[in-house]
Amino acid sequence: MPSSHPFIKIARENEDILEDIMTEIYREFLSYEAGPFSIVDGGAHMGSHTFEFTKLKGCSRVYAIEANRDLAASLLSRGPMRDGTKVQVIAAAVQDDPAVKELSFMLSTSHPGRSGLNSIFKEDPEVSFAQTVVPASTIDLVVRDRADPVRFIKLDLEGGEYNAIRGSADVMLIDRPIFCMENSVYSPEYNGYSSGEYFEMFRSRKYTPITFLGEVMTEDNMFDLWYAWTAPDEKVDMLCDLLRRAIARRV
C-alpha cells in the first residue's frame, strides 16, 4: 500500500486507533497458540496492555518492563501484579548489551510516558527531562528462566526499540515471537543506526519487518506510521493478512 493510503489520515486524526488495532491483532494471533505462553511488555508505562495480556487464554506470564521507577512502582501496587504469579514487573531499561547493568536515562518530568534512554522527544520544547541512572538489562536476560515460550513482544521505548530487539537474539531464535514496536522517524538518527543495519538485523534472524498497514517494510514505506511489526519469516503471511483485514474494517 502506498503512503497515501487513507488509513494514514484516519490514524493521524485518532492516534488511539493504532493501540486498538494492536490489541485486536495480538488477541487474534495468540488465540491460535496451542499451549501456555509468555509475553514481554517493554515500556509497560501504566500497564494498559499488561492488564490485557493477563486476560488472554494461555498466557501464563507477562514480563512488564518499565525503566521509570515511579511507573514501575505503580504497576507493582495494582491488581494482578501484587502477588507476582502472573505478572513480573522489571524496573529496568532494556538494551542490547548483557554486560551493562546501569545506564543514563532521560526521565521526562512533564510527560512520564515519553521517557527513554535517548528519547525521540528530546528536541520537543514541550517535553522536559531530568537525567538519571537506572538499572539496565536485555530481553534475553529478563526471560532467561521462562517456563513457557515468549510468543509476543510489545516495545514502546521512545526510540530504544532497535537496541532492545538486538538484545533479544536468543528468544527470537528459540521462541519465534511476533513484535509490535514503536517506529519513529527519529529513532535511527537519535540512536545511532542506519536503515541498512535495521533490515540486516532482522534478515540475519529470519525475521521480516512489516508496516502497520500490513505490507512488507522497505526503505520507502518504513515510516508510514509510528508503530510497526516484525514476524518470523514463517508467520509473515498470517500477520500481514490480519493487519490488512483490521485496516480494511476501519477505512
Type and span of the H or E element at 103: strand 102-108
* Other CB atoms within 10 A of residue 46 CB: 14
Instruction: Answer yes or no: is pLDDT of 187 > 70.
Output: yes
Q: How many helices (H) and strands (E) does the chain have?
A: 10, 10
Residue found by looking up cell 543514563 in the block: 104
Instruction: Answer yes or no: is pLDDT of 128 > 70.
Output: yes
Check residue 68 and give its pLDDT.
94
Helices (H), 155-235: 161-166, 169-174, 187-191, 195-204
Task: Give residue-wise pLDDT tens across range 11-25.
Answer: 999 989 999 999 999
- Helix 16-30 with 236-248: angle, nearest 10 deg: 130
CATH architecture of the region 6-92+139-248: 3-Layer(aba) Sandwich (3.40)
Cβ 128 vs Cβ 10: under 8 Å: no
CA distance 128 to 125: 7
Cβ 106 vs Cβ 119: under 8 Å: yes
Average pLDDT, the chain: 94
pTM: 0.95
Q: Which of 82-91, 122-131, 208-217 has the lowest mean pLDDT?
A: 82-91
**Amino acid, single-letter form, for residue 233:** D
CA distance 239 to 251: 19
Check residue 116 and give its pLDDT.
95
Check residue 16 and give its pLDDT.
93
Q: What proportion of the chain, given as a percentage, has pLDDT over 70? A: 96
Check residue 84 and give its pLDDT.
61
Q: Where are the domains of the chain?
A: 6-92+139-248
